[in-house]
Amino acid sequence: MNTRNLALSGLFVAIMLILGYLEKVLSLGWGYGIKLGLSNCVLLLCLYWFGVGNSILLMLAKVFLSSLLFGGFNPVSLSLSLGGGALSMAGMVLLVFVVKDVSPVGAGMVGGVLHNVGQLLVAILVHRFPVLYTYMALLVVIGAVMGAITGSLVLRLKHFLPYERRRRFGFAGKQEEPKTT
Amino acid sequence: MKRRDFWVFTAILGLVLALLILGRALRPAPVQNARATLSVSLEGTPVTGQPARADSYLRIKQGEAYYHLVPLNKAGEIVIKQEQGWENVIHIDKDSVVMHSANCPNQDCVRMGKMTLLNIETRVHQRWITCLPHQLSLELIPGDEAQRLMEGQ
């Protein structure tokens, strides 16, 4: 990792923490655990920018720091965030690097859905909470909608990516394509 | 928008439909043979294994431990304190339960509102109010099911 990427990573973690805190303060919960998940948008952008390894580190940093700063380091909440973050990251990595040919909107949707699914799985399997299928369906729909929003944000932000990354993921515009002889 | 995004939409839609169908097909039922080991105190007297008759009962679960059923026949306040300093205040009334306050970070349980015998069929969380950070769940059990539970023990 070069110095530039290190500095950017630090910046991204800070942005994710602030976004997470803002969502908490604005309290978009309504008792259903519904969140916009704006930090997911930063993570998805990181995935395109830095690749898998660094993005996983950023996700871990976000989860632990946000639990330490805003969640009272509650072990249950931490395990839920970790489960959600890990599954969401796995899904997005799969779509972006293995399946390919998926737009940031699709990847964001899968990330949003899997984040909620991961949290629910941890709650049910580890903490033995009741299985509520209707609530799960609601969370999947919300995850998809919120993920589509964060994915569209990444679509808007993609031109900030370095040129070689844009080319790799097919984001580079026609006018940027190097001349082929 | 790319070609495989369509698969993503379809998969998510399929998942939602499957969950909705499962939610319709499987009615929530209380966990059987769960031995109650703890008891709350209502107006200074502990609620034991032989509660008063009521149309509905409240079952509190903390971590893996179950509390004795609390009859929901009059207003009262239950305070669940845990050694980590976690505290939940539950208000009960005839056939209704609400998480009045909690010192948990996300406050989701407080926002889940009042759960009554009438609205547990239509609530998103059905017959539960859960406080995930404190590993606490409140389950409202209709009288007939509760009777069967108590006979089983």
Q: Is residue B16 part of a domain?
A: no
Q: Is residue B45 part of a domain?
A: yes
Q: Is residue B62 part of a domain?
A: yes
Q: Is residue B103 part of a domain?
A: yes
CB spacing of A77 vs B128 below 8 angstroms: no
Within chain B, what is the greatest distance between any pair of CA atoms? 65
Residue A162 one-letter amino acid: P
Per-position DSSP letters for B43-59, written without gaps between them: TTEE--SSPPP-SEEEE
Q: Is residue B130 part of a domain?
A: yes
Domain span holding position B88 = 37-151
Its pTM stands at: 0.87
Residues of chain A contacting residue B5, judged by C-beta atoms under 8 Å apart: 102-103, 105-106
| pLDDT reported for residue A179 | 54
pLDDT, tens digit, 9 for 90 and up, residues A117-128: 999 999 999 988
Using CB atoms, which residue from A29, A136, A140 is nearest to B12? Answer: A140
Residue of A21, A99, A103, A134 to mutate, testing the B interface (most B Cβ within 10 Å of its Cβ)? A134
- Number of domains chain B is built from: 1
**Nearest one of A33, A17, A29, A154 to A92, comparing CA atoms:** A154
Chain B: residue whose CA lies nearest to A67: B105
**Nearest one of B12, B41, B30, B24 to B141, comparing CA atoms:** B30
pLDDT, tens digit, 9 for 90 and up, residues B104-132: 877 888 988 899 999 988 888 889 999 98
Using CB atoms, which residue from B22, B26, B105 is nearest to A72? Answer: B105
Please tell me the distance from the alpha carbon of residue A172 to that of residue A168, in angstroms, as a whole number: 8
- Quote the Cα angle for A21-A10-A71, to 5°: 30
Q: Is residue B14 part of a domain?
A: no
The gap from C-alpha B90 to its chain's centroid, in whole angstroms, comes to: 11
- The domain that contains B96 carries what CATH number? 2.60.320.10
| pLDDT reported for residue B44 | 77
**Nearest one of B80, A174, B142, B54 to A166, comparing CA atoms:** A174
* Interior/surface letters B18-50, b for 16+ CB within 10 angstroms, e for the rest: ebbeebeeeebebeeeeebeebbebeeeebeee
Encoding tokens for residue A61?
A: 């940093």
Which A-chain residues 48-77 have CB contacts (< 8 A) with chain B?
70-72, 74, 76-77
Residue A47 one-letter amino acid: L
153 residues of chain B, pLDDT tens digit each: 677 888 899 999 999 999 999 988 887 778 877 788 888 888 777 888 778 889 999 999 998 899 999 999 989 999 999 998 999 999 999 999 999 999 987 788 898 889 999 998 888 888 999 998 899 999 999 998 998 888 876
Going by their DSSP bridges, the two strands B96-102 and B115-116 should be labelled as: antiparallel
Chain A: residue whose CA lies nearest to B20: A134
CB-CB contact of B93 with B74 (8 Å): yes
Q: Is residue B22 part of a domain?
A: no
Q: Is residue B29 part of a domain?
A: no
Please tell me the distance from the alpha carbon of residue A115 to that of residue A168, in angstroms, as a whole number: 26
Please tell me the distance from the alpha carbon of residue A167 to that of residue A154, in angstroms, as a whole number: 16
